[in-house]
Amino acid sequence: AALWRVRRQLELGIGLQLLQQLVGINTVMYYSGDILRQSFYGDEEPTDAQRRVLIWLTAPVACAQLVGCVIGMLLVDRVGRRPLVLASLCGIVLSLLLEGAAFGFNDWVCSGGSVDGSLREACSGTGWVSLGAMASYLIVFGVGMASVPWLVNAEIYPLQLRSACVSIATAVNWVSNLLVAVSFLTLEEAISRPATFWLYGACAAVGAIWLYVRMPETSGKSLEEIEALFGARQQSAPPAADEHVSATTS
């Protein structure tokens, strides 16, 4: 009954944590080396010199999310949680569309036998497009989706239920992290590399629409004001057991 009374907050908290993983963040982090290898060299086995280049290229990718997190830290209280997370998701959608397009161009156009002239020059740049898309993805993710789910979960629950609700939302985050990570290679085989990134982008787009409808702004509000934001939508909550007992005895 206690969790039922905060079901709106719990829905938002779980949804944010689930969405953080469904946009593919840890897939990109865990498989960044493989993604770069595929984007630059396709299915060919890179030489030792090319492997060293790939190792160096993972450095800006790893630093990109740090840059985004610093930007988000500076903006989260000035701009607000809601605008920041919505802007972050829009950037994620665009970055994943570009990442998928780079792989699609490489797989469906450049892999043909008759590639010459300007087309060959365009094909040689797909790796750099993929690198840029990955870096931009991590920056815009860091701006909003990296921190806002944790921040919102820390401030929307009543004190007496906060530990339980945050524990549930955190468990959802890690379970979805595992499922998204282990399914990446299977998805690549089943629906192709471009479609896998577009699927993550579709999750981000759906999530942005859902948050636009369901997420209120909590920045600068007291705990009582935050409870009132969600309480207005929870008028139909069932009465507590002690209230029911007192009503029947009277």
Q: Based on the number of CB atoms within 10 Å of its own CB, is 219 exposed (0-12), middle (13-18) or buried (19 or more)?
A: middle
So what's the pLDDT on residue 116? Answer: 67
CA geometry: angle 25, 193, 131, nearest 5 deg: 60
Q: How far apart are CA 184 and CA 177, in angstroms?
A: 11
Average pLDDT of adjacent 10-residue blocks, the chain of 250 residues: 88 97 93 87 82 86 92 94 97 97 87 66 84 95 96 93 95 96 93 95 98 93 86 50 42
What pLDDT sits at residue 112?
61
Q: How far, in Å, CA of 201 to CA of 93, rounded?
A: 5
The pLDDT value recorded for residue 109 is 80
Looking at residue 41, its pLDDT comes to 82
Contact between 154 and 69 (Cβ < 8 Å): no
The pLDDT, as a whole number, for residue 117 is: 63
Short-list 79, 86, 72, CA closest to 213: 86
Given a contact cutoff of 8 angstroms between Cβ atoms, the answer to whether 108 and 193 are in contact is: no
Q: Are 36 and 60 in contact (CB under 8 A)?
A: no
